[in-house]
Chain A
Amino acid sequence: MSGNIQLLSDTLAAAKAEDRSALIAYLPAGFPTVDGGIAAVKAALEGGADVVEVGLPHSDPVLDGPVIQTADDIALRGGVRIADVMRTVREAHAATGKPILVMTYWNPIDRYGVERFTAELAEAGGAGCILPDLPVQESALWREHADKHGLATVFVVAPSSRDERLAEITAAGSGFVYAASLMGVTGTRASVGAQAHELVGRTRATGTDLPVCVGLGVSNAEQAAEVAGFADGVIVGSAFVKGMLDAPDDAAGVEAVRALAGELAKGVRRKA
């Protein structure tokens, strides 16, 4: 069974056709529980997210700030397994028909087996993966299996990426390009700087057809509108997770996710 890379591309193209940015939400699987995580993913999609990245928690999340570290820690102490991540993808996709990606570090997939992982993710209805510590030079084996199973390989580009690397990365990637708005780990920021705008421009200048979506630091509708002014998609993670961590109970956490998705969905349609 082939994965949903086409659904991902179609979804991003549809947003573009509506002259707006897509809203992409990140939520870790297994947080606060596996079922609670599935409810949160569905709420994000029902609330207005076009795409969700499901995090596969890792013991050593070196690219994540304290908010996502805390959520990963709760999920891992709760015993989350890769099978739970697959169930999260399957149920969220089945309930909403929307594209679901997995975001994780390379070691869990390397250990699990690339063929086994890609086959199971495609079978669950997944659309692809974001693997921020797998640089393009080390990615040949992953891409071979992702391509075989119809899964997108979304690479991250950073403000420090030189133009020749941007060309290599956009040539090897699929689905979309994840442009990191700033140099740093995940987490909310007061402002999303001019670095993001410049990076999106340099990425597009490679001639790539891939949509360029911006993540890191975006937490509210105003920032979403600002980023929507120059990017094809707006990626929000820590703000969703923080809403869940701050909620008095799990049900309120799910509603916080739904409400934030609604607010951000308006933001990406407004354009600053």
Chain B
Amino acid sequence: MPSDFFIPDPEGQVPNVEGYFGAFGGKFIPEALVAAVDEVAVEYDKAKHDPEFARELDDLLVNYTGRPSALTEVPRFAAQAGGARVFLKREDLNHTGSHKINNVLGQALLTKRMGKTRVIAETGAGQHGVATATACALFGLDCTIYMGEIDTQRQALNVARMRMLGAEVIAVKSGSRTLKDAINEAFRDWVANVDRTHYLFGTVAGPHPFPAMVRDFHRVIGVEARRQILERAGRLPDAAIACVGGGSNAIGLFHAFIPDASVRLIGCEPAGHGVETGEHAATLTAGEPGILHGSRSYVLQDDEGQITEPYSISAGLDYPGIGPEHSYLKDSGRGEYRAVTDDAAMQALRLLSRTEGIIPAIESAHALAGALEVGKELGKDGLIIVNLSGRGDKDMDTAARYFGLYEEGADAEVPADAADTAEIEGDAR
């Protein structure tokens, strides 16, 4: 019986057998990890063709995660987006509060098949860490999560969630103390403990087969969204929009639409304080091809190949690399990537909260800000799907500080009515 929710890429032409999406991808790893990474590739290939694996994963995706996720039309938000129709793919409604659980459950099943008893993972915003800690609790696996020290502070709620679930959370103090450094530390752990440990990588980057495997586990997002929009709007969207850090929720939404040439695939990168300030994490906008964390892709780096420190208000997008398939989509012209500032994302976060009663993650708010721009470009006949990759609970402290919500009388100062467009669109903090 074909699977309804685990729907790996049926084409299988990219990546090629060496893991290359055109010029990007590959496997730049130390010899000590070659055997383990090869084992993941072999086991994933076996699992992909095993109906029992698909049955087990489908069961989890339906009865544990809650798939399919809803597609919600947001007309009051869309009124600020040039009148285009906007639908949100509600990955925020998945168990654990983001899309990350799709990939985590797949890799956790794989971990069991490989006979490994310990899982390590990196996390930025904490969403992947929470999803991983959740799956480890469910399957009885030991769990260690690496998280940059700065991120443990700005996403403290998720640190507490991971610890509640029984995971060990290690605050990484090296480098920029964010996602990149958490990945470095997880790789160091993996090299030393590879015998019993699976590195449950959280995005579509890393060495082959991770970019293709993680994509396959998230492919369900776009497959569902495509079916739902055809039912609801009677046609394909003009644009599918998602935020891009490492790129997993974006590739999950985009992939099923790649053959539909009329659907623009638009990734929104974090411009931080503005690309021109140098304080950003807009890898495809401002980076150059290079090697980071096991594959060739666009990378933020200097002229001698040192990785430059990224910045974004969003911990989940604060990463100087990007999955190789996005680099491939960019260079082939199939994907479009634009940069969204902290301020634009925060305004979009507040707008969605106040017009639709949905508080998005700051990561996802970058895609919402992109939708406001694209909607105006398309006009009132436009039709847009935005991947609402995660919920904003974890970001309340950041948002409260940004908007001054902890201050006495803040409720009076902040405009309560979304009709106050100028305020929402144009104000500073």
Q: Contact: A59 with B35, CB < 8 Å?
A: no
Q: Mark A159-192, 1 if CB is under 8 A from B, else 0.
A: 1111001000100000000001001110000000
B306 contacts A58, CB within 8 Å?
yes
With both beta carbons as reference points, the residue of chain B lying nearest to A159 in the complex is identified as: B32
Nearest B residue (CB) for A57: B306
Instruction: Closest B residue to A76 by CB, please name it.
Output: B306
* Chain B interface main SS type: mixed
Q: Please classify how large the interface on chain B is, using the bins under 10, 10 to 19, 20 to 34, 35 or more.
A: 35 or more
Complex-state Cα separation, A117 to B188, whole angstroms: 28
Residue B30 at the chain A interface, CB threshold 8 Å: yes
List residues of A (123-157) whose CB comes within 8 Å of B's CBs: 132-135, 137-138, 155-157
Q: Which residue of chain B has its CB nearest to the CB of A82?
A: B304
1/0 contact trace for B265-308 toward A, CB 8 Å? Answer: 00000000000000000000000101111100001010111111
Question: Which chain B positions have C-beta within 8 A of A160?
Answer: 31-36, 194
A134 to B207, CA, bound (A): 12
Residue A65 CB within 8 A of the other chain: yes
B27: Cβ under 8 A from any A Cβ? yes
Q: Does A60 contact B (CB under 8 A)?
A: yes
| Pair A132/B184 contact, Cβ less than 8 Å | no
Beyond A81-B304, A111-B290, A158-B31, whether A138 also contacts B192 by CB under 8 A is no
- In A107-122, which residues have CB < 8 Å from any B CB? 107-112
Which of A59, A111, A156 makes the CB contact (< 8 A) with B31? A156
Total count of chain A residues near the partner, CB < 8 A: 40
Contact B35 A135 (CB under 8 A): no
Q: When chains A and B are docked, how far (Å) is the Cα of A73 from the Cα of B181?
A: 13
Contact A62 B31 (CB under 8 A): no
B173 to A, closest residue via Cβ? A66
Give the residues in chain A near B174, CB-CB below 8 Å. Answer: 69, 73
* Contact residue among A58, A82, A134, A158 (Cβ-Cβ distance under 8 Å from B32): A158
Top 7 A-B pairs, shortest CB-CB distance: A111-B305, A108-B305, A158-B32, A184-B192, A107-B305, A59-B306, A107-B291
Known contacts: A111-B301, A112-B304. The answer to whether A135 contacts B29 by CB under 8 A is yes
Closest to A66 in B: B174
Cross-chain contact A60 with B292 (CB below 8 angstroms): yes
A107 touches B34 (CB 8 A): no
A111 to chain B, nearest CB (A): 3
A65 — which chain B residues lie within 8 A by C-beta? 188
Name the residue among B27, B31, B175, B184 with the largest chain A CB count within 10 angstroms: B31
Which residues in A have their C-beta under 8 angstroms from that of B36? 160
Closest to A216 in B: B32
Query: Quick one: given A106-B291, A110-B290, A111-B305, are A185 and B188 in contact (CB under 8 Å)?
Result: yes
What per-residue 1/0 map shows which CB atoms of B295-333 lie under 8 Å from chain A? 000010101111110000000000000000000000000
CB atoms of A108 and B306 under 8 A apart: yes
- A residues less than 8 Å from B180 (CB atoms): 60
Is A63's beta carbon under 8 Å from chain B? yes
Residue picked from A60, A137, A162, most chain B C-beta under 10 Å: A60
Q: A137-B18, A137-B27 are in contact. Are A183 and B32 (CB under 8 A)?
A: yes
CB distance from B127 to the nearest CB of A (A): 23
Q: Name the A residues within 8 Å of B18 (CB-CB).
A: 137
What are 24 A-B contacts defined by CB distance under 8 Å? Answer: A58-B306, A59-B175, A59-B307, A62-B184, A63-B191, A73-B174, A107-B291, A107-B307, A108-B306, A112-B304, A132-B30, A133-B30, A137-B27, A138-B28, A159-B32, A160-B35, A161-B34, A165-B34, A165-B35, A169-B31, A180-B31, A183-B192, A183-B194, A185-B192
Assess whether B187 is interfacial by the CB under 8 Å rule: yes
